[in-house]
Structure 1
């Protein structure tokens, strides 16, 4: 029976590594390795953006949240969809155009070239933020993988996490951005289909939708409404808190970099529609898994284990193996993007600028791949040692990345007077606010994620400091902003 589960997973892993090996031919140049030659189509961009940002929290953390909160968990999904919509409507088109004008291959390189000032502090803050929060983020994904593999195969969780870390790091090392994007596309399609199938299957297994709702009502009447029994200011606080989670997905390097690589800004609208459709189907499937799990496993100790328990107890071994492959797709579609973003930042923005300024493209790619391996090891250590909820680890890491980069990104695309000093001050403010928020304001953690105050404070600091300093190439920046707001066709 175990081999009937394992076989689909083995086949799936070989396919992923094969895609990475195939994509190696696109990585001979820096632009090819980092951005796939800026030739990524709307479908691949959409699915890879959605599932590099969604992460393993959907079938682990969010399923557990549905079990605990019922329909109130949908405020989270609304918040996330608002965040994705904001990214496409406000950021995508202009960033695609501007990154090409500036010939920027990496996130940090874009900011340095955009502000036209001393680049050292921007590079330092970017590198530290990406190293810190990416390691935590990837670690949360590997920990989620360990939970599932531990339950399904009764394997030591440390061993399962190490296996997941090796696989993710391996195909990211080979394939670069093209490999990551193609595998994300492949995985994303499986995720959409597989999550929907599992959700419908579990609802039917539990007796149908009406029976599930009735049984949940008998357990706790608050879990069939969107208010958890709260009213007035308590309800508004709950809704606001979950809606603001969407702020934490804006401007994160590992998924926003997709906008650099889409083949044309004319493809952005189509990509937006595909992204929201894929996310909506997957969200609903995950909701059905968690809600049916409330009936099937009413006394489970940790609701985040519903997904692997359901695979072991309810499904045919072959389908179970397929669904584990789906889960690995969610896990790896985020982890590979984060590893690539980390490696690119170090190779391009640290090694090339400060350690070996005359490095060849080949040397830079070797160093980039080396740093991908280092971050992969650090993330595995985080996964092995962490005991926090997958959902909230993911939220925290996202908040740190969004607070560091989102405010300065939006200003860079719309405000000609953004200066180097303003960008540095804003990035540092966002980073430090997230790091210190829980220590100084723990009573507000339920009302809003760290990203909200961090983004607000960062925006204020960017504006004030930029007004007090001067943009040395103001007219050039104005001309560029006029170009980037247009739709560039192929």
Structure 2
């Protein structure tokens, strides 16, 4: 059985992780330093514009590599699904490659134009100005805070887990010799270090700190993933051998699972099909208990899920609003498509190799960190190299948390406090309140992670899908439908959110449909489809019907955003006589 911290470490191995820890400490120090540099730029303009939008100065590389939406789900939740269910998860994530085209291409130019014309700094600002409705801005803020907070809770668990696995396996950090207690203590220490670091540098530099550290971390992700891919394929002997080994591992897992069920039910084990393990390399995915991970209905659902939630993510919309110009946005589409291919496809191959090399992982969320340490074991400077590779998931997690801290803080400070409580607040007051808000959110996330969720990716899917159901249709209405009204858009947001929350609540109290991932937080799947499909459909119907049955927006509000300025007809002034 796999130990909680390492597989039976010997005395000689107890110091093996010092290099890994040193590399992560250097990485953390570099991130904090970038946060201090960002603070200098923030001071060049008003606090609100500088801290929450970076003075609208992002270039193509900054937009592309900081709008990747990589997170703890990318390096821990998603890999755990590949490790558990097999190659079919490649189809589950395949549509993520076109997120830049759907996001930047579909609404990017319009969002950038409207935000500049109205002076909007945050996503709630955008809806408030477009529809001249403070109430709609408040609804947007509250929904962002709810779903982004749920996403952020998952990231704190992921960051703490990486720190725990990177810690030296000696007992000098622990007061207990018991492996499980020591694991808990290392997890709590990792949670504290991660929280202080990411909240700290975001407090210092705000949006630009998040962007600059995200850019640095994105480069580290790319390097780390490609290095781990090469080491994994070399170790297992190629992708074909990895797949064959994974099939054998899956077959053994199916037989072991049947033996455990038989022992629990006090009966003789039933024969397991000789081809049970082949489900690891085919659809609808491998499972020990007859579960269909990705039947056709969910495959279709998730091909829609990621592009839709990608362009409606508040963090992505904020990046678009901060873009320098339209040319920069077009270049970012190409860069981000290539970057996503260079991250997700290698991760799939690495996890297939991991199933062959480490067939008995009890905690699949740890597959990438454990592969980083296993593949570098015995190499010259291997512990340090492991730290460089682990900087990939750690950087993705830090980047996500910092982005969400800025989004949530801006919602609390600008869209709630400044708009409704103290419209004449000074920059100093806003600065103080923004930082208090970030600290409060960080403390809440830490408290909720003392006993973390078991399957990280299910919380990521819930938060992403919830935000998508809230904002996909409203964003399209904001950009392209001049007849849309504030009441209609607000109804679309609330009906989308209500649908997702209702479907997840029903799912927790109904029998397991035996499709999708195993999780306590799971939805009910209407007709076998992902709930986001129905959330978006209901949001669209409600938004359109309510808009058509409410007072049209004033022409002076929509005309400057939808109509080209009139051409001047005055004759040109005569040239002065020489």
2:186 to 152, 156, 160: 156
Using the TM superposition, give the Cα deviation of residue 483 of structure 1 relative to its aligned residue in structure 2, in angstroms: 5.2
Computing the radius of gyration from Cα coordinates, the structure with the larger value is 2
- Alpha-carbon deviations, 1:277-302, whole Å to 9, x = none? 11111002211221101101112222
| Residue pairs, 1:469-480, within 5 angstroms | 469-480=550-561
* More helix, by proportion: 1
TM-score normalised by length of structure 2: 0.79
Q: Residues 301 and 446 (structure 1 numbering): CA distance in 2 closer, same or farther, change over 3 Å?
A: farther
1:109 aligns with 2:125: yes
> Take 1:483 and 1:282, find their aligned partners in 2: how far apart are those partners?
41
C-alpha separation in 2, matches of 1:210 and 1:472:
60
Q: Counterpart in 1 of 2:198?
A: 168
Q: Gapped runs of 5+ residues in structure 2?
A: 1-15, 168-182, 252-276, 377-381, 508-522, 566-578
Larger relative contact order, structure 1 or 2 (CA cutoff 8 Å, min sep 6): 1
- Distance in 1, Cα, partners of 2:396 & 2:223: 13
> What is the distance in 1 between the residues matched to 2:70 and 2:156?
14
For the Cα contact (< 8 Å) 1:71–1:225, is it kept in 2?
A: yes
Report the 3-state secondary structure (helix = DSSP H, G, I; strand = E; otherwise coil) of the residue aligned with 2:444.
Answer: helix
Structure-to-structure mapping, 1:109-188, within 5 angstroms: 109-117=125-133, 119-120=134-135, 122-153=136-167, 155-188=185-218
- Per the alignment, residue 69 of structure 1 pairs with 85
Aligned match of 2:73 in 57, 77, 85?
Answer: 57
Aligned length: 478
Q: Distance in 2 between matches of 1:22 and 1:183?
A: 10
CA separation in 2, counterparts of 1:358 and 1:385? 41
Q: Deviations over 1:248-302 (max 9, x none)?
A: 3331112221000110012211100111111111002211221101101112222
Structure 2 match to 1:42: 60
The CA deviation string for residues 19-48 of structure 1, in whole angstroms up to 9 with x for no partner, is 001110122312121111111101100000
Query: Residues 197, 226 of structure 1: CA spacing in aligned structure 2 closer, same or farther, 3 A cutoff?
Result: farther
TM-score by length of 1: 0.93
Give the Cα separation in 2 of the matches to 1:228 and 1:23: 45
Residue 476 of structure 2 is aligned to residue 410 of structure 1:
yes
- CA drift of 1:227 comes to 4.3
Deviation at residue 203 of structure 1 after TM alignment: 1.8
Q: Which runs of 5+ in 1 are unaligned?
A: 485-490
Deviation track 1:156-176 (CA, whole Å, cap 9, x = no partner) reads 212211221111111111111
Residue 2 and residue 228 in structure 1: after superposition, are their counterparts in 2 closer, same or farther (change >3 A)? closer
Aligned position for 1:468: 549
Secondary structure at the residue paired with 2:468? helix
* Whole-Å separation in 1 of the counterparts to 2:435 and 2:50: 14
Taking the aligned partners of 1:422 and 1:318, their CA distance within structure 2 comes to: 55
The aligned counterpart of 2:492 is 426
Deviations 1:436-488 (A, max 9, x none): 1122354417933332211221111111111111233235413412459xxxx
Q: Distance in 1 between matches of 2:524 and 2:496?
A: 19
Please tell me the root mean square deviation across aligned C-alpha atoms, in Å.
2.1
Shift of 1:375: 1.2
Q: Which residue of 2 aligns with 1:290?
A: 351
SS at match of 1:156: helix
Shift of 1:183: 0.9
